[in-house]
Structure 1
Amino acid sequence: MPLFNYTVISYTGKKINGQIEARDRATAISTLRKSQLIIVDIRELKGEGLKQKSRVKLEDLIIFTRQLGALVKAGVPLVKGLNILFGQVENRALRQIISSVITKIESGSSLSDALAYYPNMFSHLYINMIKAGEFSGALDAILERLSTYLESNERLARKVRAAFIYPSVILTVAILITAIIFLKVIPGFESIFTSLGASLPLPTQIVFSISQFSRKYFVVAAGGMVGLFFLIRQILQLPAAGIAFDRLKLDFPVFGRVIRKVVVARFSRTLSTLLKSGVSILVALEISSKTSGNRIVEVALDKVTSRVSKGEKIAESLMESKLFAPLVVSLVAVGEETGDISSMLDKIAYFYEDEVDVAVGNLTSLIEPFIIVFLGVLIGGIVLSIFLPILQLTQVMGR
């Protein structure tokens, strides 16, 4: 389908440049005018497909989903609602996708089918929930539920990032400070002590040797570390290595418990949201396994799906996986008995999201003293090794 570059002015007077996919120039102009945009210029790009020069952020997707749900709930026709959002969205990539979705819907496609053309933007879960909303006639409620789910997932991801960012930043700063000391500060003291011809204490000799080695092989060491980083990334792309790493993350002391809580919270929230949206239990379990973010958990949940398809209860299947705590299994069993499993899954999700909050706080409190001690010993040792020769010289001069 042809792609057109356009320059338009919005109803607020703002000048907007972007791209739109349409059958022809007339259709592109019509789509832009429906969004209450004044067309300044529009030109077809020959031989080029749809380009996404900017990435669509999760925040943009959440806002788009919530606003579309509000428009549908207000009784605005779907295409008109998409045209309104097209005129408001600032992200160029998202605007291109909306224009393409409008064209596909006007050509007879459903919303879910049109969104399915962009799997990198709209996940399998997103598509299936939209499809369930179209089938049930409750698209507005599904969009609202979907935006709430995405927001919950984003909050959970932020909590996990917060747990790892603090120690990572502190260690990075410590490495940079240490590198500056060894590469810039210590050589000055080394030249002074060498010119005096005094014998140096063993700690000082060790520090000076490390400094000399760092200066001599700094480029090689830095290149080696960068190369090692990319090598590890490539190795982790291998299925066996990736599975081993995911298992290590689950079993890692302290951090592993946080990751397990996150996995349970995400699984419970995803499965509950899908079931409330009318997605069948087997499809919901399959999608939930793909959103777990851990291949060990994904394999275990695939086995759970297989057992459930053969008639086993969900709680029994989860117990067999040995990845879920007895509390989770018990609540799911109660949900199955009462016929309200989605509510029980919501309670599990809320409980474990609170647990993640507490675990992240405890993790930060636990790591902080170790980092302070590590930095104190490192910097203190370097400073002491430099001052030892100065103290010796002072004693000699005092005699």
Structure 2
Amino acid sequence: MPKFMYKAVNPSGMPFKGTLEAQSFQQAMDELKREGYWITELMDQSQSILHREIKFGGPKVKVQQFTLFCRQLATLYKSGVSMVDSVKALADQMESKEFRGILTEVAASMQQGTQMSEAASKYPTVFSGIFINMLRAGEISGNLDEMLNRLAVFYEKEHYTREKVKSAMVYPVIMGILTVVVVTLMMLFVIPNYVASFQSMGLQLPLPTRMVIAVSDWIVSYWYAIPVIVLAPSLLLALLKRHPKGPYWIDYAKLRIPIFGKLLHKQAIARFSRTFSSLFTAAIPMLQALSLVSSVTGNVVVGKVIEDARDGLVGGKSITDPFRHSWLFPPMVVQMMSVGEQSGALDTMLEKVADFYEADVDAMTDRLKSMLEPLMIVVLAGIVGAIVLAVMLPTFEMMKNGVVPIN
């Protein structure tokens, strides 16, 4: 019987994954739905990397759009507009057709007496477990306006931090691609025409020139291999992700990358602290909050430590013990969590940690951008200059010996 891999969200909003046996995709879907799960991904385990995954649960919404939606919803509700009217108003002005349709359906469900958290839980790919649980907590406690404001602040800070990290990493990628394109074009079109005259003269070319010519000849002969070489790392990563421990190895390697690894590490700590603080403030049960936080840190290695903390809490241990023995959580973070746990102000301490690391990420990305821009320009200029110099060496030798090449 075929085996199927799936990712789903349970009625409590907790994401998880697993495998099951079924005769067909439809039977697998029906079985999961009978158990009350919202399916986000379902795939035949026997399929190769070239087969496409079949995804369910509705479209995804851009983070920027969702962040703006949260802020506008909090503002409208605080101004005295009812929740139903607020959602309808935001649906009417939403640019994304998919998001507009989802909000319209949510508003229609709310008009029939359904709470927004319940109506939104039908779209787990749009409304995260954090959003649904905090919204439900606000509905139960009667502090919906405060909870909406906390959600808006949470997503705004999350979006800002993520964009700062992206902006620091985009420039090196662009410059790397530009370097490959420039060097490839030079090797394909410039070098062969320029060195042809030297080869026809039978000169003994310097070693750097011979090396450049050899690379140029290889690229001209095997140009079709260049896309394969460029895409090979992405293919290897995709294959590695299929391995049960692949995502863990990949995220561990990310954290060990010089400079950028430290940036990603700080971003993960900031995300953990901000998310945990928001859920704790919303009075979400500790075990459920830790399960949610472990799935949104953006790094499997960090998520594993949080899962260990959850398991330790079930066994009666302190929440800070797994963090204390992990290199991923600095002593300052663990100490502030310990103080917050003992004083009953864990949310306040975590919020301070989040503020600190978000500011640290902000400052680090600005420093990286100011350092990387001139550095990458120098690297590109150095590579192109080395190639040009290697090609010009025969000309310098001929001019030194009093011979002028004739074109």
Q: Per the shorter chain, which TM-score range?
A: 0.7 to 0.9
Shift of 1:386: 1.4
Q: Give the whole-Å Cα distance in 2 for the aligned partners of 1:86 and 1:334.
A: 44
Structure 1 gap ranges (5+): 1-48
* 1:306-345 correspondence runs (5 A): 306-345=311-350
- In the alignment, residue 284 of structure 1 is paired with which amino acid? A
Residue 53 of structure 2 corresponds to none
- In the alignment, residue 212 of structure 2 is paired with which amino acid? V
Shift of 1:252: 2.9
Q: Deviations over 1:87-111 (max 9, x none)?
A: 2222111110011112222334221
Identity of aligned residues (%): 33
For the aligned residue pairs, the C-alpha RMSD in angstroms reads 2.3
Q: TM-score, normalised by structure 1?
A: 0.81
Within the alignment, does 1:273 sit opposite 2:278 as a pair? yes
- Of 100, 109, 121, the residue aligned with 2:126 is 121
SS in 1 for 2:254: helix
SS in 2 for 1:239: coil
Residue 89 of structure 1 corresponds to 94
**8 Å CA contact retained: 1:200, 1:389:** yes
Within the alignment, does 1:353 sit opposite 2:353 as a pair? no
Shift of 1:397: 4.0
- In the alignment, residue 207 of structure 2 is paired with which amino acid? L
Residue 72 of structure 1 corresponds to 77
Q: Give the whole-Å Cα distance in 2 for the aligned partners of 1:366 and 1:203.
A: 30
Q: Deviations over 1:15-45 (max 9, x none)?
A: xxxxxxxxxxxxxxxxxxxxxxxxxxxxxxx
Structure whose residues are more often helix by fraction = 1
Residue 262 of structure 1 corresponds to 267
Shift of 1:51: 7.4
**8 Å CA contact retained: 1:304, 1:321:** no
Q: Deviations over 1:126-148 (max 9, x none)?
A: 11111111111121211111011
SS in 2 for 1:298: helix
Q: TM-score, normalised by structure 2?
A: 0.79
* 1:278-297 correspondence runs (5 A): 278-297=283-302
Within the alignment, does 1:246 sit opposite 2:235 as a pair? no
Q: Give the whole-Å Cα distance in 2 for the aligned partners of 1:288 and 1:191.
A: 62
Q: Which has the larger radius of gyration?
A: 1
- Of 73, 90, 112, the residue aligned with 1:107 is 112
SS in 2 for 1:259: helix
Residue 7 of structure 1 corresponds to none
Within the alignment, does 1:171 sit opposite 2:176 as a pair? yes
Within the alignment, does 1:60 sit opposite 2:62 as a pair? no
SS in 2 for 1:172: helix
Q: Give the whole-Å Cα distance in 1 for the aligned partners of 2:66 and 2:110.
A: 19
Q: Give the whole-Å Cα distance in 2 for the aligned partners of 1:225 and 1:311.
A: 50
- In the alignment, residue 276 of structure 2 is paired with which amino acid? L
Q: Cα gap change, 1:228/1:348 in structure 2, threshold over 3 Å: closer, same or farther?
A: closer
Q: Cα gap change, 1:385/1:224 in structure 2, threshold over 3 Å: closer, same or farther?
A: closer
Aligned length: 349
Residue 388 of structure 1 corresponds to 393
- In the alignment, residue 359 of structure 2 is paired with which amino acid? D
